[in-house]
Amino acid sequence: MQENLNSFAERLKAILGERNKHHWGIALGIGRGTIGNTFNGSVPTSEALNAISRSENVSTTWLLEGREDPYYVRKFTDDDECVNYLDAVFLERWTIYLVTDQKHLAVALTMPAQYKIKEEWVSYTPVEVLAGRCGRKTLATGEKGIAFLQGIRHQRVSADLDNLSHNKIGTYKLLNAEQPLLNQDMLAKRNQKIFDWPEETMSLTPEEHILIESFPPHGRRPKSGLQDDWGRACSTGSGQVSGMIDEIYFY
């Protein structure tokens, strides 16, 4: 995402990327004339703005005024908050992507949906991104869902994860671009490395850093006990998880 986009039209073009504006507008349910006027600087109706926001997961405040972050990200201050939120969304048919660089974790949720514009229903894919202090408990909660799938483009995940967590990646780059972030996945088993994060690589709060520095013999788990501890973490997670998730991926 470019910085210093000074007008509504410039910000809209940044969202569009390499796509054809008229094809894009038609897919959103917005007329050709409206799209042409919009890219010339005219602010569209609230109905059209809502369609753009929904389908691109983009902030209307950023589009209209250039304030705040471009894309919506739900950020959590601790792992338990992320777990509680995931427990709630498990009641609906979301597809879940776990995006990790083995040090940090973000979660992308997608599902098929529709919105109504000009008395017509338009199909789209809503996206919700969870970031912040999502970690081992979040993974344990996901593991108690259904099958995991693993993405294989590891060489790009670190930079992409940072951009995703900092409100810089929207629906298009995640799912529909020529090389989308979430484009390759394969069946993953419970013994995949994503479930064996050493505690040393996890994001720690300042309070946790103080504890580790003050009590080093007890602040770090021995590596030999990692698997047993992980098994206990899975068995004492956030409670029963509904089987209503379509798919779970990790990348």
Q: Annotate 196-208 with DSSP letters as a single string.
A: ---GGGS---HHH
Please report the pLDDT score of residue 202 as a whole number. Answer: 47
The more confidently predicted of residues 175 and 244 is 175
Residue 14, pLDDT above cutoff 90: yes
Per-residue pLDDT of 109-145, as tens digits, reads: 888 999 999 889 999 999 999 999 888 888 777 766 5
Residue 81, pLDDT above cutoff 50: yes
Please report the pLDDT score of residue 118 as a whole number. Answer: 87
* Per-chain mean pLDDT for the chain: 75
Report long-range pairs for 40-49 (Cβ below 8 Å, ≥24 apart). Answer: 40/9, 41/7, 41/8, 41/9, 43/8, 47/117, 47/118, 48/117
- The two tokens of residue 112 are 């098929």
Among 6-20, 93-107, 134-148, the range with the most confident prediction by mean pLDDT is 6-20
Please report the pLDDT score of residue 233 as a whole number. Answer: 37
Per-residue pLDDT of 35-58, as tens digits, reads: 999 998 898 899 999 999 999 999
What Å distances lie between residue 90 and 83, 132, 146, 164, 245, CA to CA? 11, 19, 11, 22, 6
- Name residue 122's beta-bridge partners: 115
- The two tokens of residue 62 are 């950023």
Q: What is the mean pLDDT of residues 4-16?
A: 89
Give the global pTM: 0.73
Per-residue pLDDT of 178-215, as tens digits, reads: 888 887 555 545 555 665 655 544 455 565 555 545 55
What does the CA dihedral 93, 244, 158, 105 come to, rounded to 10 degrees?
Answer: 120
